Amino acid sequence: MEATLPNLLLGFSTVFTATNLFYALIGCLIGTMVGVLPGVGPLAGISMLLPTTFGLNPASAIILLAGIYYGAMYGGSTTSILMKIPGEAASVMTCIDGYAMAQKGRAGPALAIAAIGSYAAGTLSVVGLMFLAPPLARFALGFGPPEYFSLLLCGLVVLGYMTGGSVAKNLSMIVLGLLFGMIGIDQMTGYFRFSYGLVALGDGIGIVPVAVGLFGISEILTTAGQTKRPEVIKPRFRDLFPSREELRDSVGPIGRGTILGFLIGIIPGSAHIISTFVAYAVERRISKHPERFGKGAIEGVAGPESANNAASEGALVPLLALGVPTGPIPAVLLAALMVHGINPGPLFIKEQPVIFWGLIASMYVGNLVLLLLNLPLVSIFVNFLRVPYKVLYPTILMFCVVGVYAVNSSLVDVGIMSVMGLLGYVLRKMEFETAPMVLGVVLAPIIEVSFRQSLAMSNGEYSIFVQRPISAVFLAGGLAMILLALKPLLMKKKDWRERLTEAEKSK
């Protein structure tokens, strides 16, 4: 704890170079553009833009990618408020009161409160990340293969439960993802598995083609042919300032949204989406005037927007401290870190303090950049929304192809992206969530190796997973989630997951 301040100073000394500040700025701007454009979520955005970081040193690359990440989380609110179209899934709840405010001529204050809430939540969450990740990493140094296997198994079960929709369908997606992750050379024996003579599949299926295919290409395929041009409300700079009353009403929701978002962000699943749902429900529940919600209540914007930014940074705690991504976006960030030779995990903070603390410091800077630049530039970002979709989607398709190709200079990856795009398109029609599949692909090698190593350690005794206390706790957590998933079979009342799914579908 006492080393935090010197470490943070080390981080700021890394960030406060002209080059890194420039990359933080560019990352935030690109991220906001990615978030603003409907259909290009943070996941596809980071995946497509990953090759642009190849020529950079690791610290600059991570600063740029982190900027894109939280810029995209912020940018989604703009389309929600001005068009009632969530720029990304976490902005669904912002649509309700944000758009209602815009219709009443209060788009500016809604955008301003979203930006202020995102800034406050982002900054406070970095404080949480800064104090929580190092001790968690030290704790995880004691983990052996059984603990890792149980942790990952528990994480995947929690993901299946928390993602929304049918748990059986989510678990099927995880297993399908794990099976895709089996393709390629077996790490322990060198056997080629399910690669059908294709040498290029030896390294397995990469996370980038899978993520771009399932999220980028399938989105293009699903929305192809749409000609409707949605109306965009364009706010003026002088209309952006919220009234004193609006500011006062937003303080509580921002604080509560931050705490809820950060805590939910650490849990596997669609944390950034769930956190907005929970924050909105909490604000409505404790409000003295719940009837204002849905008709332009500022609390309905402040709470969810703070929560989604806090959740996106909370998700970095397990990623950086344990090397375990809790959702598809952290999974792509993990892949991006690994491309630059950085392996997040218990030893990451100790062995690469410059990168870790540089990332932390860049988040403080990035959040400030987002606040200072994005509000004045909102009318410029709005212009991106005026680009007709028939011009936009071929451009996105081109960036998908070049982004995926550039990672390994492999056309097989472009082929995998196309297949995943088709699969994602069909899965969406069949009402499957594709995020669990991405995580399955990423975690497959780690979970398999830790499983086989555990069995080798115990000479084939499965009881090793329950004999070790930490492992047993993780397994009990996973079992509890399965029991919770079975609850709707016994009770007729809709649980929160079904209500969340309905809320998302109704937008």
Which residues sit at the interface with another protein, rule CB under 8 A?
A: 51-52, 54-55, 166, 168-169, 171-172, 175-176, 178-179, 182, 186, 188-189, 191, 193-194, 217, 220-226, 390-391, 393-395, 397-399, 401-402, 405-406, 409, 411, 414-415, 417-418, 421-422, 425, 429-432, 448, 451-452, 455-456, 458-462
Least Cβ distance, residue 186 to another protein (angstroms): 4
In whole angstroms, the minimum distance from the beta carbon of 426 to another protein comes to 10
Query: How many Cα atoms sit within 13 Å of 363 on the Cβ side?
Result: 27
Question: How would DSSP label each residue in 228-272?
Answer: ---------GGG-PPPHHHHHHHHHHHHHHHHHHHHHHHSSSSHH
State how far the Cα of 299 lies from the Cα of 291, in Å rounded to an integer. 12
Q: Between 215 and 425, name the residue whose CB sits nearer to another protein.
A: 425
> Two tokens at 70?
């939280």
**For residue 184, what is the DSSP state?**
E
**Strand runs (DSSP E) across 40-139, as ranges?**
none
CB 294 within 8 Å of CB 246: no
Phi/psi at 185 (nearest 5 deg)? Answer: -75, 130
Contact (Cβ atoms closer than 8 angstroms) between residue 362 and residue 15: yes
**Exposure of 175 by Cβ count < 10 A (0-12 exposed, 13-18 middle, 19+ buried)?**
middle
Q: Which residue lies nearer to another protein by CB, 286 or 456?
A: 456
Report in angstroms how near the CB of residue 413 gets to another protein at its nearest: 9
Q: Between 193 and 386, name the residue whose CB sits nearer to another protein.
A: 193
Q: Does residue 126 contact residue 115 with C-beta atoms inside 8 Å?
A: no
Are 126 and 364 spatial neighbours (Cβ–Cβ below 8 Å)?
A: yes
Nearest residue (CB) to another protein, 113 versus 174: 174
Q: Specify the residue, 255 or 445, whose C-beta has the smaller distance to another protein.
A: 445
Amino acid identity at 453: Q
User: 305 and 90 in contact (C-beta within 8 Å)?
Assistant: no
How far apart CA 435 and CA 159 sit, in angstroms, is 9
Between 349 and 444, CB nearer to another protein: 444
Cβ proximity to another protein: between 261 and 440 the closer is: 440
Q: How far is the CB of 505 from another protein (least distance, A)?
A: 12
Instruction: Identify which of residues 193 and 295 has a Cβ nearer to another protein in the complex.
Output: 193
Tokens of 431: 């009402």
Structure tokens at 51: 């090759």
- For residue 402, the minimal CB distance to another protein (Å) is 6
Is 461 exposed, middle or buried (CB count within 10 Å of its CB: 0-12, 13-18, 19+)?
A: exposed
Contact between 381 and 33 under an 8 Å Cβ cutoff? The reply is yes
User: Rounded to the nearest whole angstrom, what is the least distance from the CB of residue 96 to another protein in the complex?
Assistant: 26
User: Least separation, in Å, of the C-beta of 375 and another protein?
Assistant: 28
**Residue whose token pair is 């209309």:** 239
In which element (H, E) is residue 380 found?
helix 378-384
How far is Cα 82 from Cα 35, in angstroms, rounded to an integer?
A: 13
Nearer to another protein, 351 or 461 (CB): 461
Compute the least distance from the CB of residue 287 to another protein, in Å: 35
Closer Cβ to another protein, 245 or 459, answer by number: 459
Quick check: 460 and 452 in contact, CB under 8 A?
A: no
Q: Least separation, in Å, of the C-beta of 409 and another protein?
A: 6
